Structure 1
Amino acid sequence: MPEYLRVKTRSTTILTVRHKGVVAIGGDGQVTYGESILKQDTKKIRRILDGNVVVGFAGSTADAFSLMERFETKAKDFPGNIPRAATELARDWRTDRVLRKLEALMVVVNAEHSLLITGQGDVVNPQDNIIGIGSGGNYALAAARALIRHSDLSAREIVEQSLQIASEIDIYTNNNLVIEELPAAN
């Protein structure tokens, strides 16, 4: 498993799928501390920049909110250039002493891009337009890939069913789902 996926992987599940002219991103609502469930309905998917960008996060909640705020600032510094904003955040995250200690992963989507941003300085644009992060991320990712290949479901339905499957396997993921959609650019 790549190092960037080992950071706080027992945290949640976030999945995004770009399919049939729509990008859908969803996440579960469970917050855990060690072996205990603290909350079951946390919203880990947020719309920013007038609703044109959706961010999902896994890992420490406080760290994720800090990163989301910093990303929004970077996105405002580079209007209309989400990859540049993501690259600038990843650079700062990797090199800044304080930010370097943050334990979270972010997925950022808009009409044109689906990006994974890590504290290792990575900005990944997946070849297959699917990203899964968090403790159930690989389960949801595998389910989404199978559903895209072997069904006629919409992006939203694929995200919903894949997260449901992950919640049945991963004890750190529940089935209290939040899913957002955006039209995808052609």
Structure 2
Amino acid sequence: MTTIVLVRKNNEVVVAGDGQVSMGNTVVKSTASKIRKIEKRDVVAGFAGSTADALTLFERLEAKIEKHAGNLSRAAVELAKDWRTDKYLRRLEALMAIGDKEHSYIISGTGDVLEPEGDVVGIGSGGNYALAAGKVLIETDKSAEEIAKKAIQVASEICVFTNDNIKILKI
């Protein structure tokens, strides 16, 4: 797994992720990037779970966003429908946290499209730690980027499947 946090504050949306890739209890890579940006549509996404599965889902998300003229809500629902009903996609094991200037969503392979309450989203093995840290920090004068970075740092100190090699994207 991994840790992804998405933070919305002062008209900024930031997604951050750690760089650790594990196979069982072994660290295979410490510098992976598990976040992506869809430049044309100002959408950021982070994924937790199998890397190949997550990249497949990200490509599908990008296609859905283009198909629905940038409507992230519609694209998220359509991706979740495909994920749940397509025999190939149904086997993919990943979670996605996605956001644009207006909405944040968590998309799962069970067909869930969740719009979390609040301005912080956390997914992955250290997601709850990052979420808790982010919820505390959102009340400070820190920027969305500073909050996201610190939230991943906190998670990396608690979760053995999370490191402090942090990648950040913002819109």
| Shorter-chain TM band | over 0.9
Runs of 4+ in structure 1 over 2 Å off: none
How many residues of Structure 1 are paired with residues of Structure 2 in the alignment? 171
Aligned to 1:41: 31
Question: CA–CA distance in 2 between the matches of 1:112 and 1:158?
Answer: 19
Separation in 1, partners of 2:135, 2:128 = 11
Could you tell me how far apart the structure 1 residues matched to 2:92 and 2:45 are? 17
**SS of aligned partner of 1:15:** strand
Equivalences for 1:1-186 in 2 at 5 Å? 11-50=1-40, 52-149=42-139, 151-182=140-171
The alignment partner of 1:112 has SS state of coil
TM-score after normalising by structure 2: 0.97
What stretches of structure 1 of length at least 5 have no aligned partner?
1-10
**Structure 1 residue 118, shift from structure 2 partner:** 0.7
Counterpart contact for 1:107–1:116, Cα < 8 Å: yes
Q: Deviations over 1:123-167 (max 9, x none)?
A: 111110211000000000000111113x21111111011100000
| Matched letter for residue 150 of structure 2 | Q
Instruction: State how far apart, in whole Å, the 2-side matches of 1:36 and 1:45 are.
Output: 22
Letter in 1 for 2:156: S
- Partner of 1:93, secondary structure, is helix
Q: CA deviation at 1:80?
A: 2.1
Normalized against structure 1, the TM-score is what? 0.89
RMSD over aligned CA atoms reads 1.0
SS of alignment partner, residue 50 of structure 1: helix
Shift of 1:70: 0.6
Letter paired with 1:15: V
Q: Where does structure 2 lack aligned partners over 5 or more consecutive residues?
A: none
